[in-house]
A and B are shown apart, each in its own frame.
Chain A
Amino acid sequence: MASSAMELSLLNPAAMRGLSAAKPRVVSSRRIVRFRVASSAAAPPAAKPGTPKKRGKTEIQETLLTPRFYTTDFDEMERLFNAEINKQLNQEEFDALLQEFKTDYNQTHFVRNPEFKAAADKMEGPLRQIFVEFLERSCTAEFSGFLLYKELGRRLKKTNPVVAEIFSLMSRDEARHAGFLNKGLSDFNLALDLGFLTKARKYTFFKPQVHLLRDLPVGEDWVLEDENRHGDFFSALLKAQPQFLNDWKAKLWSRFFCLSVYVTMYLNDCQRTTFYEGIGLDTKEFDMHVIIETNRTTARIFPAVLDVENPEFKRKLDRMVEINKKIIAIGESDDIPLVKNLKRIPHVAALVSEIIAAYLMPPIESGSVDFAEFEPQLVY
């Protein structure tokens, strides 16, 4: 995977007009942002003796809310998408999806115009810093998706060529997004060293069924049509695995995934209200809009979803924000670590109890109409 950053520029180069390939660049006027992770599987390459250290590299703190690089059990993925083993794969749906991915509606959309640079130059102070962080997080997440999908596309070639090709085309999309975002960072005289990221970043392992659930169109890129199509693909994959959808465990998992995504997003964004207010949005209102729309989409595949339109759900989220602020304030205080940890305990307990209370709110029965057990409740 070391050459993955280079591959970014090779994926459909004609489609990447106006888009710098997201390969690592070292330009004197730029600082290259590297993610250094102490517990990474592969340690960052040590500087050769006698070579001066490159200046201005910024270390980005790894936190619970930082985008991660994901990997999975590829052998199990091969079993899941083997048409001979899994008779429920709806080949018609996958053929239709493949045609849609091949159409590549957004081929000419990722073209930057001079307004990008002008807008970046206007940004100053905290807003600039927050926007840079936003681009860094998004670029990392997209690049992580590119690596995972590329590998799945390669591994599934023999097992299921159609699914493999879809994964490859999704990696094309993610590469394009990462490249575009990295080019956006260049407007701020920054660039992510994606080659370094590939080798040095810690990979978080997820079981395939967990991947399928968490790759539905939720999170920051919910509004992109590319991401929506990725969501459609994962819906089709999940529908082909009803064992992940039709029992009580699946209902509990579904609610857990929804809640973890919504809470993470809400808490994250409420720490960055400056950014949202800077672009003229009410953070909480906007987040609730995203959560409600995402929940409606998710309800088309998950067997149960949270009742996010219940006003009590938002009240719980707002209480979590207040508790989280207190936890952050304790972390920023001058107390010794032991005292900080002791002070945090009641707040962490309060946060956990709010999360559990939100989880235990009566859910909404849902799922695809193709499973149709609940069809009488539907109005077409």
Chain B
Amino acid sequence: MVAPATLSLRPFATLAPSRAALPRVGAGFALPPAVSCQPRRRRLSLRAVAVDSDQQGSPEPPDQEAKPKKYHFLVANAKFMLDEEEHFQEQLKEKLRLYGEREKEQDFWLVVEPKFLDRFPNITKRLKRPAVALVSTDGNWITFMKLRLDRVLAEQFEAETLEEALASNPVDLKFDKPEKWTAPYPKYEYGWWEPFLPPKSSNGTA
């Protein structure tokens, strides 16, 4: 006995999948939606799905604003982040090199005296200034970096644009040189962090 066919109400937008959403086979050949690679099943099990009217999908108007993006950050004083922390520069440099090799877009930045700190009074009252934040859209990586650096404060925020997220206040950074340097490698050059600063347009001073 065949189960009675029931109507499944779904948002309109899902009826016509975009080309990008279709499974790809071979060199750019996309299967039409009706074709299935799965073996046919004898029994038809269809469910009726009740959908609220406000869930009914309607094509989004093209001028609708993009959703704000989530940014994760770690923050500490500039002396710790840029001058004292032995492996920090190596890690960032290594990550940037890897992104270059794998043609991945940069998703992490260093922000000196970020403007977004104003949103976090609980953090600013515990922070020695000037402060430096490591900001990324990759929350997993920030969790890892928190584990590595430990002596940092972590939070997250949303911003409409990258410029807004990475805006900073102008500040002069000065670090005293150590009296005696015993390591078999030179101390990191002042300004090593510049390749990791946000693009010029997102600097609050621009």
Contact = CB atoms under 8 A, between A and B. Distances in A.
Interface of A: 92-93, 95-97, 99-100, 103, 105, 108, 225, 228, 232, 235-236, 279-282, 285-286, 288-289, 293, 300-301, 368-370, 378-380
Interface in B50-93: 75-77, 80, 86-87, 90-91
Contacts, number: 67
Given A99-B141, A235-B147, A369-B150, 17 more contacts: A92-B143, A93-B144, A96-B141, A96-B143, A96-B144, A100-B144, A108-B101, A225-B91, A225-B94, A228-B148, A232-B144, A232-B148, A286-B184, A289-B182, A370-B150, A380-B80, A380-B151
A280 B183 CA distance: 11
25 contacts: A95-B140, A96-B141, A96-B144, A99-B140, A99-B141, A105-B94, A225-B87, A225-B90, A225-B94, A228-B148, A232-B147, A232-B148, A236-B147, A280-B184, A286-B182, A286-B183, A300-B150, A300-B151, A301-B150, A368-B150, A369-B151, A370-B150, A380-B76, A380-B126, A380-B152
Interface string B164-206: 0000000000000000001110000000000000000000000
Contacts of A108: 101
A378 B149 CA distance: 14
B98 A93 contact: no
B105 to A, nearest CB: 15
B104 to A, nearest CB: 11
Interface of B: 75-77, 80, 86-87, 90-91, 94-95, 98, 101, 126-128, 140-141, 143-144, 147-148, 150-153, 182-184
Given A96-B144, A225-B87, A380-B77, A103 B150 contact: no
Give me the 8 closest cross-chain CB pairs, A-B, nearest first: A96-B143, A300-B150, A96-B144, A285-B182, A289-B182, A96-B140, A380-B76, A379-B128
Contact of B86 (A286, A293, A368, A379): A293
A380 B153 contact: yes
- Centre residue among B98, B140, B150 by max chain A CB count within 10 A: B150
B98 A103 contact: yes
Contacts of B183: 286, 289
A282 B182 contact: yes
A235 B151 CA distance: 14
Contacts of B91: 225
Contacts of A93: 143-144, 147
Contacts of B126: 380
A9 B72 CA distance: 39
Given A93-B143, A96-B141, A379 B77 contact: yes
Contacts of B184: 279-281, 286
Contacts of B77: 379-380
B59 to A, nearest CB: 36
A274 to B, nearest CB: 16
A225 to B, nearest CB: 6
Contacts of A97: 144, 147
